[in-house]
Chain A
């Protein structure tokens, strides 16, 4: 069984269309995010309390909200997971707000309020209380982790290939991160530490895909020295198309199992991975390669291919051409 066995799509011809299309989608998405007031932050970053309560009998969100009202007027209640007896109660904790004293009492106040409203019996499945100071700390760490990872990958790729390729790879990864954020906001997933971990994984995965193409380009340049870079890249993308498609499908199967069967806690993580795998494939084919060509052309035309070939050849040929 073969897919894309002798593919010969002219990806490079459509590179500007693809880039502009992506820019439009990102622009629309980011505007939506801004209009909605930013990416919704989980309590780990905002500070707040998130308590998952499992009731013995079906309980409506509204009843719970009313019960919790004396503890905090800002509380949000939403269904959690697949059973109708589980809810998540969220209480934001801003710096200096009255709700911060919940950190001391923990679940006690919430449990008392629920008992008083007669909603028992129930069990607390999990409870997270993050003070605003710790929240800010985690937020900084999350951003640094992403920035540092992108930086590290940029340096490694520039070292192994050439700067133009490295920029292409990192921009493609960044593009994937933005698209993922847009989808997370549209589907109302809160930004949590798990999702940051998923985003970093997508970054690795997207660059992974891109490196496979660039590796093929590097190999083809050795045998196709007369051809311009854009054509070599096109051929390389077509050659690796089958592999890219199959890997994405297989990884998608694995991640879909996680989404469907892995439980509620990991659902945001799995969703992020699904989006990431799809856009990772798209960005490798259309964005990274296209950008690499554009940036390579900036410096010079076909001669760039010859210069690059020299870099990757053995020492002896370098001496000859120098």
Chain B
């Protein structure tokens, strides 16, 4: 009657073997979530408005430049809001010329509107959307470069959330979280601008020579003045147009200056070096402010024309600061400011403790359940034990094969899988008991039990699968780990509690003479 037992055993062994091969050794093959190996998970928001603002500012500047070159006069240009600017006082005589030039320069990006000689340009909506999307993409790439330089294994930087302006950064095993956060977030926007006046102790003194008003083509920037022991805030008046910017940088490395204090040595690209030579040559004796993220870091005097590609930034840097600054300068500037929205960090010891606790709980749970089944169902309890263990093995194998991440809730899912395995086995055993009570032969009772119960098992597992599916859809990292465990556990359970358990029963019964058999259940 039991012809195919050999094939059935073979199938079970092959499946079990494949599973074990997939997840052994577990240290290397099973991916652990941040809550099990320690590390930090960060969610950042990209201020995409900055990118739109920058586009508008650049377009306005470029249009002004083109108009000046063509000698088209206008009284003023001002930016109104993030995505529009106005050019006023265009004389009627140069009106058509203005239109031609503005068409050439900005018509693909901006819509033009005119009123009383003033032209207002508003960014086209899809241009704004593009600028925002590009800003996020660029931010992701920049952060990836910085994060890779931190020396973290398997970092993850990706888009996050439904609105498209959030980024998630995962750094497993990271210990110095504060430093990493600083490096990631620093915009690293570097410019070198000629100093017009300053340093002064406050803004009035600074602007005294200009009648208290800041000229249009200049900016007021703050910085630290003083000899380095006690920082004093100071104000500088610098030219708005920078001599060189971070984009002209080829490379940046930490080094030592002549007083053996840490500094940052940077190398300029060839066009940058040409620009730098021109500026320094024309402005010997004046100071050049080195401005990083809108703060003056240092303001060395130009002693002579610098024609080489190498230069340095000195400030009051520690070794670590010089190194970090070089890192951020090398990775390029961020196109927009970032703010932190969420942070989850787990220390490494907690991670290891959690794994240990989870394993102990699982083994204890399994032991208690098996004992219980042995007491209540006698030898059939062994059947349950084997099928549950196989269930867990296949579950681990599936997770390792798919590359799913094991998290702490995932370990809880393990324990729940034990519960589910018990559930199915109890269903089957109770049914077999009922069938035995109807005075059928033992083999028929077992067969009938499995056949009748199969549909119930399918129904109950589908409803739990629905819950698992929604958990995966709406959950975050650790919860998704749980949903995955639940999902594979349920599927493996159908196989083990029906196929494996039945094969074991049939094997036992095939050893005994048909008709006279009894079953320990």
- B389 close to A (CB within 8 Å): no
A38 within 8 A of B: no
CB pair B415–A258 under 8 Å, yes or no, is: yes
The answer to whether residues A134 and B470 also contact, given A208-B460, A257-B364, A261-B361 and a CB cut-off of 8 A, is: no
Q: A108-B178, A197-B409 are in contact. Are A103 and B341 (CB under 8 A)?
A: yes
Contact of B455 with A215 in the complex, beta carbons under 8 Å: yes
Contacts A148-B470, A193-B478 supplied; 16 other A-B pairs, CB < 8 Å: A128-B345, A134-B342, A138-B476, A141-B475, A141-B476, A145-B471, A149-B467, A193-B476, A205-B464, A208-B463, A243-B426, A249-B372, A250-B369, A257-B361, A260-B361, A262-B358
Interface assignment of B474: CB less than 8 Å from any CB of chain A:
yes
Residue of A nearest to B473 (CB): A145
Residue in A123, A144, A215 whose beta carbon sits within 8 Å of that of B474 in the complex: A144
- Whether A201 contacts B416 in the complex (CB less than 8 A), given A127-B343, A145-B470, comes out as yes
Please report the C-alpha to C-alpha distance between residue A106 and residue B179 in the assembled complex, in whole angstroms.
11
A 85-110 contacts with B by CB, 8 A? 103-108
Cα A131 to Cα B42 in complex, Å, equals 11
Quick check: is A35 within 8 A (CB to CB) of the other chain? no
Q: Classify the interface of chain A: helix, strand, loop or mixed.
A: helix
Q: Which residues of A (127-161) have their CB < 8 Å from a CB of B?
A: 127-131, 133-134, 137-138, 141-142, 144-145, 148-149, 152-153, 156-157, 160
Whether B340 lies near A269 (C-beta < 8 A) is no
**Could you show 25 A-B contacts with beta carbons less than 8 Å apart?**
A103-B339, A106-B177, A107-B177, A125-B347, A128-B343, A128-B345, A131-B43, A144-B474, A152-B470, A153-B467, A193-B475, A194-B479, A204-B464, A207-B464, A208-B423, A251-B423, A254-B368, A254-B415, A254-B419, A257-B362, A257-B365, A260-B361, A262-B361, A265-B35, A270-B412
Which residues from B are CB-within-8-Å of A240?
A: 430
Question: Interface residues of B toward A: which range?
Answer: 35 or more
* Contact status of A204 and B466, CB under 8 A, knowing A106-B181, A125-B349, A255-B415: yes
Which residues of chain B in 258-314 are interfacial with respect to chain A, using CB atoms and an 8 Å cutoff? none
Contact present for A156 and B463 (CB under 8 Å): yes
Tell me if B368 and A257 are in contact (CB < 8 A): yes
Q: Does B376 contact A (CB under 8 A)?
A: yes
A157 to B349, CA, bound (A): 45
Shortest C-beta distance, A239 to chain B (Å), equals 8
Judge whether B446 is part of the interface by a CB distance below 8 angstroms.
Answer: no
B373 at interface, CB cutoff 8 A: yes
Q: Is the CB of A126 within 8 A of B460?
A: no
For window 157-216 of chain A, which residues contact chain B by CB distance below 8 Å? 157, 160, 193-194, 196-197, 200-201, 203-205, 207-208, 211-212, 215
> Which residues on the B side are within 8 Å of A250 (C-beta)?
369, 372-373, 419, 422-423, 426
**A56 contacts partner chain B, Cβ-Cβ < 8 Å:** no
Chain A interface residues toward B at CB < 8 A: 1, 52, 103-108, 123-131, 133-134, 137-138, 141-142, 144-145, 148-149, 152-153, 156-157, 160, 193-194, 196-197, 200-201, 203-205, 207-208, 211-212, 215, 219, 239-240, 242-243, 246-247, 249-251, 253-258, 260-263, 265-266, 269-270, 273
Chain B residue contacts of A137, Cβ below 8 A: 161
Contact A149 B466 (CB under 8 A): yes
Cα–Cα, bound, A175→B375 (Å): 33
Pick the 7 closest A-B CB pairs, nearest first: A145-B474, A263-B357, A204-B464, A204-B467, A251-B419, A257-B365, A254-B365
B419–A255 touching, CB < 8 Å: yes
Closest CB-CB distance, A198 to chain B, in whole Å? 8
Q: Shortest Cβ distance from B83 into chain A, in angstroms? A: 23
Whole-angstrom CA separation of A256 from B369 in the bound complex: 11
Q: Which residues of chain A have C-beta atoms less than 8 A from B426's C-beta? A: 243, 246-247, 250
Contacts from B to A (Cβ < 8 Å): 35, 43, 45, 161, 177-178, 181, 185, 339-347, 349-350, 353-354, 357-358, 360-362, 364-366, 368-369, 372-373, 375-376, 378, 408-409, 411-412, 415-416, 418-419, 422-423, 426-427, 430, 434, 452, 455-456, 459-460, 462-464, 466-471, 473-476, 478-479, 482-483, 486
| A62 CB, min distance to chain B CBs, angstroms | 25
* B339, A263: Cβ atoms closer than 8 Å: no
- A207 adjacent to B463 (CB under 8 Å): yes
With CB as the reference atom, state the residue of chain B lying closest to A128: B344
Q: How far is the CA of A279 from the CA of B232 in the complex (A)?
A: 67
Which of A123, A219, A262 is close to B357, meaning CB atoms less than 8 Å apart? A262
Which residues of the partner chain B approach A103 to less than 8 Å between Cβ atoms? 339-343
B408 touches A204 (CB 8 A): no
Contact: B475 with A258, CB < 8 Å?
Answer: no
Structural contact, B463 and A204, CB atoms closer than 8 A:
yes
Bound CA–CA A300/B116 (angstroms): 80
Query: Does A1 lie within 8 Å of B375, measured CB to CB?
Result: yes
Which of B340, B434, B471, B478 is close to A200, meaning CB atoms less than 8 Å apart? B471
Q: Do A251 and B475 touch across chains, with their CB atoms under 8 A apart?
A: no
Give which listed residue, B378, B423, B463, B478, contacts A194 with CB less than 8 A: B478
A87 nearest CB across to chain B (Å) = 14
Task: Report if A123-B361 is in contact (Cβ < 8 Å); known contacts: A106-B181, A133-B341, A247-B422.
Answer: no
Which of chain A's residues have a CB closer than 8 A to the CB of B366?
254
Q: How far is the CB of A256 from chain B (nearest CB, A)?
A: 8
Of A131, A142, A253, which is within 8 A of B372 by CB?
Answer: A253
A130 to B411, CA, bound (A): 24
Shortest Cβ distance from residue A84 to the other chain B in the assembled complex, whole angstroms: 17
Q: Are B354 and A208 neighbours in the complex by a CB distance under 8 Å?
A: no
* Interface contact B463-A251, CB-CB below 8 Å: no
CB proximity of A69 to chain B, nearest CB, Å: 22
Residues of chain A contacted by B368 (CB below 8 angstroms): 253-254, 256-257
Task: Please indicate the chain B residues that have their CB under 8 angstroms from the CB of A124 in the complex.
Answer: 345, 347
Minimum CB–CB distance for B389 against chain A, Å: 14
Asked if B463 and A104 make an inter-chain contact with CB atoms under 8 angstroms apart, the answer reads no
Q: Which residue of B lies closest to A3 (CB)?
A: B376
Partner of B456, one of A203, A205, A215, A255: A215
Given contacts A145-B471, A246-B376, contact A263 B358 (CB under 8 A): yes
Contact A126 B456, beta carbon cutoff 8 Å = no
- Whether A129 contacts B343 by the Cβ 8 Å rule is yes
Partner pick for B415 among A194, A204, A205, A257, CB 8 A cutoff: A257
